[in-house]
Structure 1
Amino acid sequence: FVITMFVAAVIPSVNAVLFQLVAITLHTRMNPEAAPAGERRDFRARMIALRDGWGAIVLLGGVIGGIYGGIFTVNEAAAFGTVFAFLFMVFRGRLTKQVLMDSLRDTAANTAMIYLILFGATIFGYFVSATRMPDELVNLMQVWGLSPALVIAVLIVMYLILGSIFDTMSALLITLPFTFP
């Protein structure tokens, strides 16, 4: 199921990338000083840069290829990517004590933030359910005779607005008590 969901996210992801490219292109055409042109590199310099970036290419190919090839699940791919990125740093001699400590500190901060969001959303969901607000919203929509398409359109607009404020998981966790019923 998770792999199916991952594969299903490809089209929206490609659309998001294309829209961002169009937005960047339009912005830089209208405002050229926002992204000044860099020095043009010859073919040899490009090949050297490609050779030096072989680790990232192998890592990307291993993770994406492993998922689409059915070798491992999305979670296993994340673990694979993490272990091999760590090994690349070790073998390239770029893993210092300071880099390791900074990585561990950032990981702990991100994990704590995720758990705070989860705890907050759980408490919020409990209180929203205790007030029976979701049931009342469903009853109100039925009384007004709103079509399912209109309800979906309102949810899309709501998620677009929330998506500009919160990250995806936070927006979903906060709105789940309202949207699930």
Structure 2
Amino acid sequence: MESLFVAFVILLLVMFFLGLGVWVFAGLLLVSTVGLVFLIDMPPDRIGKIMSPLVIRSATSWEISAIPMFIWMGEIMLRTDMSDRLFRGLSPLTYHLPGRLLHTNIMGSALFAAISGSSAATTATVGKITLAELEKRNYSKMLAFGSLAGAGSLGLLIPPSIVMIVYGVLAEVSISRLFAAGVIPGLMIASLYAGYVMIVSLMYPDVAPPDREKPGLKEMGKGLLDLIPISVLIFIVLGSIYSGIATPSEAAAVGVVATLTMTVLTGQMNRDVFFGTLVSSVQTSCMIAAILIAAAFLSTAMGFLHVPQDVANAIGSLDLSPYQLIFILAIFYVLLGMFLEGISITVMSLPITLPLILGAGFDPIWFGIFLVIMVELAQITPPVGFNLFIIQGLTGTPIMRVALAALPFFILMCVGVVILTLFPDIALWLPNLLFNS
């Protein structure tokens, strides 16, 4: 019971510092230090000795090197015409679907997710392309905002995924297997979104006005040609991983080289673009590394406080069934998602939740996909929903209106979690096929 109280105090401290507007990594460091000093009287010099190796180990792992590479790929595509080609390529292909161009949000996000690894990059890139066009053609703003918020989060689930890399490193499981496990669940949730858009469009035709001109075979052919660069990048990145030619970290570097080569050959690379994308990706990568260091320190501090073991024992003593445990953890992650972003959620919670999951007999690869989907929910959950902030920044729409637009897609993602829990082979079939044969 004492450790449960400690865990509650730690959670209150985290919420307090975040509520003050303190940076996430600084807040986590403060909480860890306060907990060690005041709860177990640890001397400050010993805290420094604990912190030093954590900095090196958390920020210099070989697997983590993939993160800045994938971020750089996304930045390059954001500042070149690759993103514009995505909309031009998908537009004629969606004409015959109920909802028409609204599907460019979903399909575009799914495709861009397969090369960016970032929900924020996916939402920002696709949103800059589609939202203005949809508004100009009088499509429903609420459905446009909601479909983008939901589909943009697929950047975390459809491989390659930055959160999957972080989970794989912390849980010590194969990142390649995690990437394979995310493919079918990602397509399943994208299909749920597309089905919802179709149903709403059939019920309320005004949400998706008919286009002025029906695209012919020539326009569809041009659309397919515009999708070639994105398709080539997906093939290079994922193909190098699943063929065994490259590890996820190496594949990220290969993807960057391929992206840079394409932009040079098409005459879009110049000094400003190169250094602009490089500076932006370094800034984002440093932010992620700082959070990883701080979260690793918090995890270590909670270990000294015996919180993970005692919380696991407390929940274990409730004699919950596996499904009851998953239900409680789902609620736990939704609550965390209201205050924290994905990487912080993953690294802070894993020391507590992973032992519970393994003890209940769940596959750690399956749990990685479950956790990523719960993190995706956090992307569209106010008050700290990054995808909501991005759409607000792109459109100037009040955050609560964007959150309301995203609510149906939040529910659809919850449905996806239920389906994945009832049928775990949705996540496990592909990695077992690729890596157990």
Q: Does the residue aligned with 1:9 lie in a helix, a strand or coil? A: helix
Aligned mate of 1:94, from 268, 279, 291: 268
Aligned mate of 1:22, from 195, 217, 221: 195
The 5 A counterparts of 1:15-164 are 15-29=188-202, 35-38=208-211, 39-163=213-337
Which has the higher mean CA deviation after the structures are superposed, 163-172 or 51-60?
163-172
| Alpha-carbon spacing, 1:70–1:180, altered in 2? closer, same or farther (3 Å) | closer
Instruction: In structure 2, list runs of 5 or more residues that go unmatched.
Output: 1-173, 356-437
1:4 aligns with 2:194: no
Q: Aligned residue for 1:176?
A: 350
Within 2, Cα distance between the matches of 1:168 and 1:84? 28
Within 2, Cα distance between the matches of 1:31 and 1:99? 43
Within 2, Cα distance between the matches of 1:87 and 1:139? 53
By relative contact order (CA 8 Å, sep 6+), the higher-ranking structure is 2
| Alignment root-mean-square deviation, CA | 2.7
Shift of 1:179: 1.5
Shift of 1:165: 5.7
Within 2, Cα distance between the matches of 1:45 and 1:152? 48
| Alpha-carbon spacing, 1:119–1:26, altered in 2? closer, same or farther (3 Å) | farther
Q: Does the residue aligned with 1:63 lie in a helix, a strand or coil? A: helix
Q: Aligned AA for 1:136?
A: D
| Alpha-carbon spacing, 1:15–1:163, altered in 2? closer, same or farther (3 Å) | farther
TM-score relative to the length of structure 1: 0.81
Within 1, Cα distance between the matches of 2:342 and 2:200? 26
TM-score relative to the length of structure 2: 0.37
| Alpha-carbon spacing, 1:180–1:54, altered in 2? closer, same or farther (3 Å) | closer
Shift of 1:94: 0.3
Q: Aligned AA for 1:63?
A: V
Q: Per-residue displacement from partner, 1:122-164 (whole Å, max 9, x unpaired)? A: 2322332232222221232244333344223312333345456
* Percentage of identical aligned residues: 28
Shift of 1:24: 3.3
Q: Per-residue displacement from partner, 1:33-55 (whole Å, max 9, x unpaired)? A: 65544453221122123334432
Shift of 1:22: 2.5
Q: Aligned AA for 1:95?
A: M
| Alpha-carbon spacing, 1:64–1:176, altered in 2? closer, same or farther (3 Å) | closer
Within 2, Cα distance between the matches of 1:113 and 1:87? 27
| Alpha-carbon spacing, 1:165–1:149, altered in 2? closer, same or farther (3 Å) | same
